[in-house]
Amino acid sequence: MLEMRHIRKSFYGVKVLDDVSINLYPGETLALLGENGAGKSTLIKILNGDYSRDAGDVILDGVPVHFAEPRDAEGAGIRMIYQELHYAPELSVAENLLLGRLPHRQGLLGWMIDWNAAREQAREALKLLNVNIDPMTKMRDLSVVEREIIEIVKALSRKARIIVMDEPTAALTPPEVQQLFGIIRDLCKQGIGIIYISHRLDEVFQIAQRVTVLRDGKHVDTRPIAEMTHKALVHMMVGRDIEERAEVRKGTAAIQLGDRLLEVQGLAKTGAFEDISFHVRAGEIVALFGLLGAGHNILTQTIFGIEKADSGNVHIGGHPVQVASPQDAKRAGIGFVPLDRKVNGLVLGMSVQKNITLSNWSTLAPFGIFRPKKEMHNTRHWVDKLGIRMAGGIETHTRYLSGGNQQKVVLARWLEANVRVLLLNEPTWGVDVGARSDIYDQLEALAAQGLAILIVSSDIEEVLTVSHRILTIYKGHLTGEFMQSEATQENLLHAAAGGTL
C-alpha cells in the first residue's frame, strides 16, 4: 500500500537520509528502528508532508504522490502520532480531540458549538484506551504522560489507512501497552497499515511482522521479525553488541556503599503523596518505580524545590536542608534531570556549551571575571566523557541534537555543577538503545565515584537494569522495597499496583 523509494534529504549540507527505501503492506505492523539521529523522524515527516524530499518517490497504492503539507497526507488517510506532541495547550481535551470537526447545532443566534455532543464524542474516543480524563480539562493542566495518551486517542479516533506511531507507549503502563497492542491488532485486521517506531525492543517482537533498520541515515536491512533475535537486532541498529546488564548484575559482588547522602523523612504533599520516607547512600542507585499518577514525578520535583511540601524533612549528608527553590537544592548539592527535557531541562536556542555550563557560572566567573577558555575546556571534557554527538561542534544549538544527546547535555550540566545527589525523572524516555546504554554506563560510573542517584521510572526494564535497590509507589504511598537481586517484573508490578507482599 505504501512505498518510499530512494529517499534523500539534507539539512545545511548534512545528509540526514541517503537513499532510504521502505514499504508497507495492508494489515501489517512494520517496525522502523534505529538510534536517535538515524533518520527515522525525518523519513516519517517526509511521508506526512512536514518536510520536502530532495530526491526519491512516495507511492501510495501504486500511484506517485506528493504531500506539500500535513493536510494533504491526512486527506490520503495517513495519521501521525509524533514523539514530539502536537496540541493546543489552552484548549480542552475535547477540543483537541475534535479539532477541525467540532459538532455544531442551530441556536438562537445561528450555528454554535454543541458542547454536550462534543463531550460525549470525546468520552467515546477516550474509551478506546479506557482513559478516565474529564473531556473539558485544558491540555495545559494535564501531565506529560496524559497529553501523550490524548495524542494516541486522537489518531485512533479518526479513520486512517496508515498510522505512524512514534514511541506511542512511552507514557503507558504495562496493562495499557497491551491494550494498545490489542487496538493495533484490530486495526491491522481491518487492513490498516502501521509503522511502529520504538526504542523498546521487547514491544517490537510482540507487535511487528517485519522490521526495517536505519543507521546514520542509511537503510541497513528489512527482515521478518521471526528471523531476528534481540541481540542481532541491537547489533544491526548500533553496529556493536550491548551488554545485558540486568542479567550480568544478578549474582555479582556487593557494591561498596557509603553514608546516607539523601534522606527523606515523612514528606507529604496534599493530593500527590503522603508520609514518604527513604534514603539513598553514596555509591547507590535507587529506582522509584510507579505507574501513571502514582506521585513519584511530583515527589522528585518537591525534593528539588520546584513543588512545595506540606510537611516532612530532607537531609543531605546527614544535615537537614531547607529546599524552597531549585537554587536552594543546587546549593545543597542536588541535581535534577526533569521528565520533559525540552521544556524544563534545556534552553533549545542556546549552544551545547552554554547549556552544559549554565549551572556553574560561579566557578567560570570568579570575582565577576568570565573565563571563556575554562568554559570551553569544561564543555569538551563532558562532551568527550559522555559521548555527546553533534554535527556542528559545541556551538551547535541543543534543539538540533537527538533525544539521547539532549539528555546527555542535561546530565553533563549537573556533573559540571559537581552535585552529590542526582535525581532523574525517566532518564531514558525516548532515548535509543545505544544512547540508553551509554547513560547507564555513566550512571554506574557516577555511583562508583560516590554519588547518590535516585531514578524515577515507569519503565520496568530500566528499573531492573540499572538500579541496586527498588522502591515501589502507589497512589502516593510507598508499597515495597526490593534489592535488585530479588526483584522481578511480577513482584514490582504487583507492589506498584497497590498489592502487598
Residue 31 confidence (pLDDT): 96
Sheet bearing 273-281, strands edge to edge: 273-281, 260-269, 311-316, 319-321
Please determine, for residue 83, whether its predicted confidence score (pLDDT) is greater than 80: no
β-bridge partners, 211 = 31, 223
Q: What percent of the chain has pLDDT over 70?
A: 94
- Has residue 260 been placed in a domain? yes
H helix and E strand count, the chain: 18, 22
Mean pLDDT of the region 36-61: 91
3-class SS of residue 459: coil
d(CA 75, CA 78): 7
The number of CA neighbours under 13 Å toward the Cβ of 57 is: 9
Does 194 share its domain with 47? yes
- Has residue 344 been placed in a domain? no
The number of CA neighbours under 13 Å toward the Cβ of 275 is: 3
Question: Quick count: other Cβ atoms within 10 Å of Cβ 76?
Answer: 18
- Pick from 344, 273, 284: nearest CA to 311: 273
Cell of 223: 527482515
Question: 495: domain CATH number?
Answer: 3.40.50.300
- Has residue 478 been placed in a domain? yes
Residue 240 confidence (pLDDT): 66
Does 294 share its domain with 234? no
Does 440 share its domain with 400? no
Please answer whether residues 156 and 128 qualify as being in contact, where contact means their C-beta atoms are separated by less than 8 angstroms. yes
- The DSSP code for 92 is B
d(CA 142, CA 148): 10
Does 66 share its domain with 202? yes
Does 231 share its domain with 292? no
Query: What range does the domain containing 251 cover?
Result: 244-333+420-501
- Has residue 339 been placed in a domain? no
Does 211 share its domain with 262? no
pLDDT digits (tens, 9 = 90+) for 289-348: 987 678 888 999 999 999 999 999 999 999 999 999 999 999 999 999 888 777 788 888
Does 202 share its domain with 319? no
Does 278 share its domain with 393? no
- Has residue 340 been placed in a domain? no
The number of CA neighbours under 13 Å toward the Cβ of 133 is: 28
d(CA 55, CA 499): 56
Residue 243 confidence (pLDDT): 56
Start-to-end C-alpha separation, the chain: 50
3-class SS of residue 340: coil
- The DSSP code for 341 is I
What does the DSSP assignment read for 34-86? --TTSSHHHHHHHHTTSS--SEEEEEETTEEE--SSHHHHHHTTEEEE-SS--
SS (H, E, C) 123-152: HHHHHHHCCCCCCCCEHHHCCHHHHHHHHH
Helix (H) or strand (E) holding 322: none
The last residue of one of the domains, among 215, 243, 271, is: 243
User: 477 phi and psi, to 5 degrees?
Assistant: -125, 135
Residue 426 confidence (pLDDT): 86
Mean pLDDT of the region 381-386: 86
The last residue of one of the domains, among 243, 269, 303, is: 243
Cell of 494: 504487583
Please determine, for residue 418, whether its predicted confidence score (pLDDT) is greater than 90: no
- Has residue 15 been placed in a domain? yes
Please determine, for residue 143, whether its predicted confidence score (pLDDT) is greater than 90: no
Question: Quick count: other Cβ atoms within 10 Å of Cβ 127?
Answer: 12
Mean pLDDT of the region 437-446: 86
What residues contact residue 404 under an 8 Å CB cut-off, 6+ apart? Answer: 35, 36, 37, 428, 431, 432, 434, 435, 436, 438, 439
- Has residue 100 been placed in a domain? yes
Mean pLDDT of the region 132-153: 84
Does 220 share its domain with 252? no
Please, which pLDDT band fits residue 8 given cuts at 50, 70 and 90? very high
Domain count, the chain: 3
The last residue of one of the domains, among 214, 243, 272, is: 243
Does 400 share its domain with 429? no
Does 177 share its domain with 271? no
pTM flag (> 0.85):
no
Does 256 share its domain with 358? no
Please, which pLDDT band fits residue 374 given cuts at 50, 70 and 90? confident
pLDDT digits (tens, 9 = 90+) for 242-299: 555 544 444 334 577 889 999 999 999 998 999 999 999 999 999 999 876 788 889 9
Please provide the average confidence, as pLDDT, over all residues in the chain: 86
192 vs 173, residue with greater confidence:
192
What does the DSSP assignment read for 144-199? HHHHHHHHHHHHHTS--SEEEEESTTTT--HHHHHHHHHHHHHHHHTT-EEEEE-S
d(CA 68, CA 59): 14
Please answer whether residues 408 and 386 qualify as being in contact, where contact means their C-beta atoms are separated by less than 8 angstroms. yes
- Has residue 203 been placed in a domain? yes
